Amino acid sequence: MQPLSELARSLCAGDDASTVRLTRAAIDAGTPPEIILSDGLIAGMKVIGEQFRRHEVFLPAVLLAARAMHRGMELLRPLLAAAEVSGQGTVVLGTVRGDVHDIGKNLVAIMLEGAGYEVVDLGHDVPAERFVEAVEQSGARVVGLSALLTTTMSAMADVIAELTRHGLREPGTGSGQAGVRVLVGGAPLNAEIARSLGADAYCPDASSAAASVASLLEE
């Protein structure tokens, strides 16, 4: 059997055919699915994510790797479910009410999916109540809010208030202990504005999204 490092390399190269072949070979060799996931697929995504963060590769390379990961996951997912192994986590994403710009939010979704997160993408012009519903339905521990306009970024505070009003920000809610954490991003924001809105983190660009979510989940 090829070592899982080979699988990680094929994923980094965006070679989905090799990724499928090596994933199947690892399964056939009796490697536990959670090990194939962590030491092969996620390990490869971490490498490409780091290269992307250092601007050594560009977005398409990450997406090709993500596509390869998706192909590998198609083989692993039933085995992981049978073994009751949970994934990286779920993130609810959306552009807030009044704002129809979603390119940045879409990039963040792509990056998070590539990093192994389940993404519930609510689209654009999303009312605060819809975020609450999605968190309650998915058990997500992170909500990502996007806004392009200075006139709409105040709606982010509305979403945070709505999550708080439903008690979802309290420890022990959602699927984790720390309560739902909120990540915000978009052209008019910076870290200071994010804090003033009551957000837990500010995400300056798509490349830092996965690291920001991971950091929030570790808190």
Partner 1 sequence: MRPRIDLLGPELTDLIIAEAVGLLGSVGVAIEDEQTLELLASHGAVSHRSRSNGAGTDPGPCRVRLGEELIQRTLATAPPGFQLFDLAGVPAYAVDGSTTSFVPASAATRLLDQNEARPPRTADLIACARLVEQLPGLAAQSTAMVPADVPELVSDSWRLYLSLLHCTKPVVTGAFSLEGLGVIEALLEAARGDAEALRSHPLAVLTCCPTSPLGWSRTSSRTLIRCARRGIPVEIVAMPLAGFIAPVTLTGTLVQQTAETLAGLVIHQLAAPGAPLLWGTAAAIFDIRYETAPIGAVETMMMACGSARIGQKLGLPTQAYIALSDAKLLDAQAGLETSMGATLAVLAGIDSVSGPGMLDLINCFSLEKLVLDHEICCMAGRIGRGLEPTDDQPVQPLIEELLEQRHLLIADHTLRNIATEINLPGSTIDRASRERWLADGAQTLGHRAHAEAQRLLQHAPPLAVPWAEALSDRRRELDRIMLEAARAAGAEHLPETGTGAAACSP
Q: Which residues bind partner 1 (CB under 8 A)?
A: 14, 59-60, 63-64, 67, 106, 110, 190, 204-205
Q: How far is the CB of 217 from partner 1 (least distance, A)?
A: 23
Q: How far is the CB of 63 from partner 1 (least distance, A)?
A: 5
- Rounded to whole angstroms, the Cα distance separating 162 from 134 reads 12
Please answer whether residues 91 and 213 qualify as being in contact, where contact means their C-beta atoms are separated by less than 8 angstroms.
yes
Q: Choose between 129 and 205: whose C-beta lies nearer to partner 1.
A: 205
Please answer whether residues 128 and 175 qualify as being in contact, where contact means their C-beta atoms are separated by less than 8 angstroms.
no
Q: How far is the CB of 156 from partner 1 (least distance, A)?
A: 17
Structure tokens that stand for 139 in this block = 């058990």
- Rounded to whole angstroms, the Cα distance separating 178 from 198 reads 16
Q: Choose between 71 and 166: whose C-beta lies nearer to partner 1.
A: 71
Q: How far is the CB of 23 from partner 1 (least distance, A)?
A: 20
Q: How far is the CB of 83 from partner 1 (least distance, A)?
A: 31
Residue type, 92: V
HEC string for 63-108 = HHHHHHHHHHHHHHHHHHHHCCCCCCCEEEEEEECCCCCCHHHHHH
* Residue 207 per-residue DSSP state: G
Identify the helix (H) or strand (E) that includes residue 120.
Answer: strand 118-121
Q: Choose between 67 and 101: whose C-beta lies nearer to partner 1.
A: 67
Q: How far is the CB of 60 from partner 1 (least distance, A)?
A: 5
Q: Choose between 8 and 206: whose C-beta lies nearer to partner 1.
A: 206
Phi-psi region of 77 (alpha: psi -120 to 50; beta: other; left: phi over 0): alpha
Residue with tokens 């560009």: 58
Q: Choose between 110 and 155: whose C-beta lies nearer to partner 1.
A: 110
Q: Choose between 91 and 168: whose C-beta lies nearer to partner 1.
A: 91
